[in-house]
Structure formats: C-alpha cells, structure tokens
Structure 1
C-alpha cells in the first residue's frame, strides 16, 4: 500500500495538499511495515521514498530536516538488498543533488545510476536521470544513448509514468542535444 500512495502522490495528484497527504500516508504505512519486520528492504525504501517526496512537497527546510532519516532508510534498504533499483536510484540522486558538505558526491552518484539502469534497463525514471547527469557532465553522446533507450522502450517497468512523463521529457531533451554539445548544466 505504501508504494501505491507514493505512485498516487507522484503521478495522479496535482494539488499540493493531496500529494502531501498521499506521501505522508505512504510513509506511515511503510513505517508500520518496518515495525513488523525491520529486515523488509522494500518497506525501508518506501518509507524513505515517501518521506523524501513529502519533504520535497513541503520545501527545502523540510527536506533538510528529513535528510538524515531518508539517508538512514535508503542505506538500510541497500544493506538488506544491494541491488534494490529504487534505492540505488534514490541514493544516486541524493548524492548528485546534495552539496559535498552534506554528503554529496557526483562521481559516486553516477555509479549508482549506472548500476540501477544495468539492473533494470526498463526503469525509465532512473535512465532519464542518468541521461541528465550525462548532459550535466557535457557527455551528449552518452545522454543521447540513454534518451534513445527510453524512447524505444517496449515494456517500461513504470509504464504509466513512462508514457505520461519520462518518454515526453526524454524526447524534449533529446531534441536539444547535438553530438559534441551539451543542453546545459541545469537540465532537470
């Protein structure tokens, strides 16, 4: 159920209060699952993901306050299941976006995203974020490879989000790239 609330908050709701309520309920359910079984990797991941999405919805101050809790549960997920694609994606994005003094590390971030995509090549969200990392690093050929892979997916693991968000965003970003050029360091 925590995963359903995460998906509803991310993909269906557009109003901030409804999104926040979905993420908070997802976090509550995941926390309960952790209380029942601390070795449940998916529960730790869903707690971190719902908490992170709720914090993002609230703003930067809430994100900073929730950061340690999110990191703890993402790390615990990977301790329990080292190939958990969602946690690899989440950890990679945290490392990419955080400043170094808060634990950010862009080189390691890239490795996490590469690993997530190698484990699940049909996970379009991670692949799109990897493409954006390549754009930021001024590697348009690698970005184009990832973007073409997203657009050509036959069976994306997140089909609804792929059709609605990730494929259109990949097409738009691809249109801005030419070999040897970067679309800019601020691709989001």
Structure 2
C-alpha cells in the first residue's frame, strides 16, 4: 500500500509539472514568441507525442513559421485520431491550401480536391465555423472556373458568414468585390463591416481600397483617422503620418 501511495504521489507530481509546462508554453505561443514556444512544446512532445493539444500547437507554430508541409504532418496526426473534428479538418485543409501556393501549379491542382474536401467537411461538422467559410469563400473566388471556381459559390459562403458573424460576412463580400474589381461595392461592404464589428482590420480594409484601388489618399486618410479615434496603434500612427505628407 505504501508503495502504491508513493507511485500515485509521483504520478500526480508529474501531471502537475506537465500542466504547468504546457501553460508556460501556451503563454509563449499566445504572446507570439514562436521560437521560444517551439522549444517548450518540443520538450512536451518528446515526453508525450500523443498529447493532442501539444501536437496541435506544434502544427500551429509550423504554420506561423510558414513550414506548411510540416504543419500538415501534425494536423494529419490529429485527423487520424479524430477524423470528425471540424477544427482539425479545417487546419489540415488550410495548411494544405497554403502549401499548394508554394508548389507548382500542376502539383497544386492535384491537391485541390483534398483541400476542398477537408474544408467542406469542417463546414458540415460545425455550422458555425467561421474560418472554414472564409477559406472556402476565398478559394472559390480565386479559382478559375475551369478548375471549379465560382463567384456564386463564393458569395454563398459569404452569405453563410453573414448569418453566423455579420462582420465576417461583410469582410468576405468585400474581398469578393475587390477581386471582381467592383471597388465601390467593396467600399460599401467594408463600411458595413466597420458598422457591425469595428475592428482595426475593418478600417484597414476600407482604407486599403481607397488608397490602393481607388487611388484616393484623402479618403484613406479619413478612414485611418477614424480608426485612430478608437485604437491606439503605433503602426496606424505611422501610416497616418505618411498619408498626411501625400495629401498636402
């Protein structure tokens, strides 16, 4: 009995250490200190390479470091364990999509069906999965019709986003508007995104259309100044200063 108690005490201590180590590694990840986070997660992975949370973070860090093929390997491991997990399907399909952009067009085309399959599966498994619908909307928008692209399908996923998260839906429609060179419509979509969400990203998207597509620095400056009234951001202040010199 005494030996059993000692063993249980040891195991309990090991578990606490593991939880504490994961928490520290996770904090580094959330702080976007990916190199340090990677070192911490590698140690955890060496101790237990079946810990799904650790495996997932290894894949996430590989993705942030643009090592998409490596990220796919980790996400595939997750899928082999839980094939009906929406987030795992999204991450695997998303990493595959990003990897496809780095290889030859012929190889990318060969991956296209798998990319769509995993993203569609994620969307089916989770009716409220925002990122998946963004990815599908973008893919169908950018693909040529000859290989399955469809603005109508792209819009349909953007409409699904409108029901789940209006700001994301308006951003998705804005992306399609820009791709179709319908810049006045993009302005309307991004103004709606600002009204419904108002994140710094929404202001930057609208300013980007004015500056880069409509060549209207004055309007872009007005939008960024509206953003500055809500957000304190060093890069935002720098961008405003640059535009001010161009407008004068």
The question of a shared fold, defined as TM-score above 0.5 by the shorter chain, is answered with yes
Alignment partner for residue 39 of structure 1, among 71, 76, 84? 84
**2:212 corresponds to 1:172:** no
Partner of 2:136 in structure 1? Answer: 91
Deviation at 1:149, TM superposition (A): 4.7
Structure showing greater Rg: 2
Q: Distance in 1 between matches of 2:163 and 2:127?
A: 13
Length-normalised TM-score, structure 2 = 0.53
Q: For CA contacts below 8 A with separation 6 or more, give which structure has more relative contact order.
A: 1
Q: 1:148 to 1:58 in 2, by over 3 A?
A: same
Post-superposition, which runs of at least 4 consecutive aligned residues in structure 1 deviate over 4 A?
126-129, 136-141, 149-156
Cα RMSD (Å): 2.8
Q: Distance in 2 between matches of 1:5 and 1:170?
A: 31
- 3-state DSSP class of the match of 2:102? helix
- The aligned residue for residue 24 of structure 1 is 69
Query: What pairs with 1:59-138 in structure 2 (closer than 5 Å)?
Result: 59-123=104-168, 127-137=170-180
Instruction: Tell me if structure 1 keeps the 8 A contact 2:133–2:161.
Output: yes
Unaligned stretches of 5+ residues in structure 1: 10-18, 157-161, 179-188
C-alpha contact (below 8 Å) 2:187/2:206 kept by paired residues? no
TM-score normalised according to structure 1 size: 0.68
Paired residue for 1:148? 191
CA contact (8 A) 1:85 1:119 kept: yes
